[in-house]
């Protein structure tokens, strides 16, 4: 195992800036997730780390040693691709052992490594099959096994679960989490799926348009997003976000929006007057039946996801989504009361958290 450090990495393709001054550090044995929308530079960065493409500037360090001028073979990293990339004419065992054979590993050691990896991934009964005889989940496990069997310093995964159906993706995600706890290999995982990032990562790096917006533990990114992009990208349903004016009146901070106002009592902002963006997550809005309490909003849509319900409402020109208990019942067009928890507000100025 080894640590991974990315120092000031930039990459352009013609006039397109794919990566701009990327810096981060992955600890030895840490599971780090690169999260962001398609086209933000995640896969490009992974290929630079693997040595498949060359950066324009910056340095890649593995275990405090620069690997910038080393070939992919010399970097001792293993990569799992989105499309499995298995050799169709080889059995599972042959696919697992191919990389070791190319490196001249003794036959006895190859057989031992194949069996150890197959047991770890639960694919021992598949060793004599060919890829066309496997399900999508089985092929993905074989692809991961082919990388793991080498015992690499760094394990790189490029959206490995995106080709699986939703149910299988959940199962393989749990298997991957358990697997990492067993092998503790330094891992960099690329995804656009926020659920994967939040459930798998010890650390999450949120990217957009070739830049890093926030690096932190999943719970910190969710509870304290650095900017409005992170706030809206993380969380489902999306955070409620609306514009307001902050004024200070006798030590009290009042947020006035087009349709309602809130008193912010959680701390001293010392921001002064000015236009802000206010965010509040659906779970931080309580639906109450008492007409005299809260904000009066009209129910437009009710989304029932089984364990809970999400109530999509409108208050004047403002849309607000709130979470409700699964046993609660609502009628479309009904007027309900919403109570926002002031201590859970997310406040942004010029897009940045304050």
How many Cα atoms sit within 13 Å of 124 on the Cβ side?
Answer: 8
**155 pLDDT higher than 60:** yes
Spatial CB neighbours of 53, under 8 Å, sequence gap ≥ 6: 11, 44, 47
Show the domains of the chain with their CATH numbers.
4-233 (3.40.50.300), 240-353 (2.40.50.140)
Residue range 150-170: average pLDDT? 84
- pLDDT tens-digit map of 118-131: 888 888 999 999 99
Whole-structure pTM value: 0.88
Residue 180: closest CA among 51, 1, 23 = 1
**324 pLDDT higher than 70:** yes
Q: What is the pLDDT of residue 268?
A: 59
- pLDDT tens-digit map of 88-118: 999 999 999 998 898 889 999 999 999 988 8
- pLDDT tens-digit map of 210-237: 999 999 999 999 999 999 999 999 998 9
C-alpha span between 111 and 203 (Å, rounded): 35
Tell me if 194 sits within 8 A of 235, measured CB to CB: yes
Q: H helices within the chain, ranges in order?
A: 42-50, 72-75, 92-102, 107-121, 136-148, 166-183, 194-200, 218-223, 228-233
Q: What is the pLDDT of residue 266?
A: 61
Looking at 176-180, 187-191, 331-335, which range is the least confident one?
176-180
C-alpha span between 257 and 260 (Å, rounded): 5
- pLDDT tens-digit map of 192-206: 999 999 999 999 999
Whole-Å CA distances, 98 to 105, 149, 165, 201, 229:
10, 10, 28, 29, 43
């Amino acid at each position: 195992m080894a640590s991974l450090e990315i120092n000031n990495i930039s990459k352009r393709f013609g006039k397109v800036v794919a990566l701009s001054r990327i810096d981060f550090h992955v600890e030895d044995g840490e599971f780090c997730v690169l999260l962001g929308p398609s086209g933000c530079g995640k896969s490009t960065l992974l290929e630079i780390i693997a040595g498949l493409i060359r950066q324009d500037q910056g340095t890649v360090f593995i275990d405090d040693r620069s690997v910038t001028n080393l070939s992919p073979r010399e970097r001792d990293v293993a990569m799992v691709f989105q499309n499995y990339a298995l050799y169709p004419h080889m059995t599972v065992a042959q696919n697992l052992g191919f990389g070791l054979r190319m490196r001249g590993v003794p036959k006895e050691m190859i057989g031992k490594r194949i069996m150890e990896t197959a047991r770890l991934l639960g694919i021992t009964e598949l060793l004599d099959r060919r890829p066309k005889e496997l399900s999508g989940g089985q092929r993905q496990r074989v692809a991961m096994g082919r990388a793991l069997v080498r015992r690499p310093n760094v394990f790189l995964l490029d959206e490995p679960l995106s080709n699986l159906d939703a149910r299988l993706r959940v199962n393989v995600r749990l298997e991957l989490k358990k697997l990492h706890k067993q092998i503790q290999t330094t891992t960099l995982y690329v995804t656009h799926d926020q659920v994967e990032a939040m459930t798998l990562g010890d650390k999450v790096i949120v990217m957009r348009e070739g830049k890093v917006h926030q690096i932190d533990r999943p719970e910190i990114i969710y509870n304290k997003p650095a900017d409005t992009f992170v706030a809206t990208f993380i969380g489902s349903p999306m955070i409620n976000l609306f514009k307001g004016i902050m004024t200070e009146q006798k030590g009290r901070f009042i947020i006035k929006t087009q349709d309602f106002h809130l008193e912010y009592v959680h701390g001293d902002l010392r921001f002064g007057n000015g236009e802000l963006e206010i965010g509040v997550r659906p779970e931080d809005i309580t639906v109450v039946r008492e007409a005299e309490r809260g904000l009066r909003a009209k129910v437009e849509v009710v989304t029932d996801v089984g364990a809970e319900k999400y109530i999509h409402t409108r208050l004047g020109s403002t849309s607000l989504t709130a979470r409700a208990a699964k046993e609660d019942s609502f009628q479309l067009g009904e007027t309900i009361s919403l109570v926002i928890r002031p201590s859970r507000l997310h406040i942004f100025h010029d897009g940045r958290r304050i």
